[in-house]
Amino acid sequence: MKLDVTYNDEMFQKAPDELRDSEQIRRPSIKYWADVWRRLKQNKLAMTGLILLIIMGIMSIIGTRINGFKYFEQDYSQINVRPNSEYWFGTDELGRDLFSRIWLGARYSLIIGIAAAFIDFGIGVLYGGIAGMSSHRIDAIMMRIAEVIYSIPYMLVVVLLSVVFSTAGAGTSMFVLIFAMTITGWVPMANLVRGQVLQLKESEYSLASESLGASDRWILRKHIIPNALGPILVNVTLTIPRAIFSEATLSFMGLGLQPPKPSLGTLANDGLAGMQVGLFYQILIPAVFISLIMFSFNVLGDGLRDALDPRLRK
């Protein structure tokens, strides 16, 4: 049966303006990394660390040319001069300007720390990704090999390499330190990546790609690694200060960079002699710079961890 219904304007009521806007999108769409940067900027401590690192990175490049003194120049008439208007950080026991040496030492320390961290990143992601995507037997074999490698103290490796290169007349160079640190340093990154792979390969999107015929390499490259990138980046930012501190410790013990190349650790070691005659600035200044670099990377890593966690999104 067909009903004959007529409509007129009196049967309808105009919606008020406040209800008309109720279905509008209140928040614009933001991409993931743009949202990470927005949340990172809200963390004042992390931004302070980032600004300090940028300043130190720039000064490590141009700081050796600012005051006109070269890091290797010796002036025996200006030995152990305290900081003044001419020598901003003072001089050492050989009359060398500490300002240019500090910034060159910061350059070497940053290069060693960043290079070691990114080599660990590359090896760890490759090894951990392959282990996580392989069968249980291959995974077990690969991780046992990694555990054996990680059980070797890197200090022993550095000492052995230092002896070998010293015997060959080459000494301990920056590349030797990086190589010694990365021999065992990549294992924690591999363990982290393997754990993320084992977790994410059971997710819905990974299983859907597998059911559509995608290869393990494609799933690892397109799905698993991008979704595990947050914890990996946080681990990288926390690995850099550990590598820098390890280099400073080795250089302080005389196993790091050899003269005339300075690092913050060697400068702190050189400053020990100045403490006996009351020249505390010679060890205090490099110690402050080591502390600032460690502080900056640690707070930046903590800020990245919070910014990359979607559960903390507001």
Kindly list the domain boundaries of the chain, sorted by start residue: 34-65+102-312
Per residue, what are the HEC states of the chain? Answer: CCCCCCCCHHHCCCCCHHHHCCCCCCCCCCCHHHHHHHHHHHCHHHHHHHHHHHHHHHHHHHHHHCCCCCCCCCCHHHCCCCCCCCCCCCECCCCCEHHHHHHHHHHHHHHHHHHHHHHHHHHHHHHHHHHHHCCHHHHHHHHHHHHHHHCCCHHHHHHHHHHHHHHCCCCCCHHHHHHHHHHHHCHHHHHHHHHHHHHHCCCHHHHHHHHCCCCHHHHHHHHHHHHHHHHHHHHHHHHHHHHHHHHHHHHHCCCCCCCCCCCHHHHHHHHHHHHCCCCCHHHHHHHHHHHHHHHHHHHHHHHHHHHHCHHHCC
- Say how far apart CA 116 and CA 242 lie, in whole Å: 10
Output the pLDDT for position 51: 95
CATH superfamily of 34-65+102-312: MetI-like (1.10.3720.10)
What are the tokens at 34? 């743009």
Report pLDDT digits (tens) over 119-131.
Answer: 998 999 899 988 8
pLDDT above 90 as % of the chain: 17
**Interatomic CA distance for residues 138 and 144, integer angstroms:** 10
| Angle between the N-to-C axes of helices 264-275 and 225-252, in degrees from 0 to 180, rounded to the nearest 10 | 30
pTM reported for the whole predicted model: 0.80
pLDDT digits (tens, 9 = 90+) for 107-156: 988 998 899 888 998 999 899 988 888 888 998 999 999 999 888 887 77
pLDDT under 70: residue ranges of the chain: 1-5, 7-12, 15-30, 32, 162, 166-172, 309-314
pLDDT of the residue at 31: 73
Q: Residue 29: what pLDDT?
A: 62
Burial of 304 (0-12, 13-18, 19+ CB in 10 A): buried
Q: What is the pLDDT of residue 21?
A: 59
Backbone angles phi, psi at 15, to 5 degrees: -70, 140
Identify the pLDDT of residue 280.
Answer: 87
Give the CB-side neighbour count of residue 230, counting CA atoms within 13 A: 17
